[in-house]
Amino acid sequence: MHEHRYSSDEDLFQCIKREDAKALKILFERYYSPLCHFAFKFVQEVHLAEEVVSDVFLALWLKKQTIEIRLNLRAYLYTAVRNQSLNYVKKNKILFEDIETVLHENNTSDLNADRIVLDEEMKGDVDAILQRLPEKRQLIFRMNRIDGFSYKEIAEILSISIHTVQNQMVAAVKFLTDQYRRPQ
């Protein structure tokens, strides 16, 4: 079996379409953890996030011949996980706005309880500062700068406008810049 044919997500998906279970396993291992983290933002329970992601991969395998991917496979997976998560939230009558409020309150109280000491010489600075961003802004920033999604992909995955993504990124970058300029 040639490993190089599994190099890109699109190659993996073509192999999956040809009933290659190994390709599905490689794709699963590549995205399971980040997708669970993403799903958790919506469903707020680890086991539910894992269930959502597993359901998405199962659906990918079962519907591999009929699935149409508009952007790329990674964007498709994130969109599918988002939709599956929101379906779960709706089914269980949990309001998405309430989840965002709880997330924001938890982050704020955690920051007040445990003040983050910034050390500009350490790589952990950016992550520590990112934790202080509002949840949605943090998610958008991480999707763009860490996961490498374009503004257009983020807008489609989160069902928001590109303008909103741009505004959130500008605010995040300004906040990060201000934090690094602040004297200790």
| pLDDT class of 100 with cuts at 50, 70, 90 | very low
CA distance linking residue 151 with residue 59, whole number of Å: 26
The reported pLDDT for the residue numbered 170 is 82
* Domains of the chain by start residue, with CATH: 3-91 (1.10.1740.10), 96-181 (1.10.10.10)
Region for residue 19 given its phi and psi (left: phi exceeds 0; alpha: psi -120 to 50; beta: otherwise): left
Q: What is the pLDDT of residues 4-32, one digit of tens each?
A: 466 788 889 999 999 898 999 999 999 99
Average pLDDT, the chain: 77
Q: What Cα–Cα distance (Å) separates residue 146 from each residue in 20, 43, 114, 177?
A: 29, 22, 25, 17
Torsion over CA: 17, 18, 21, 25 (sign): negative
The reported pLDDT for the residue numbered 125 is 59
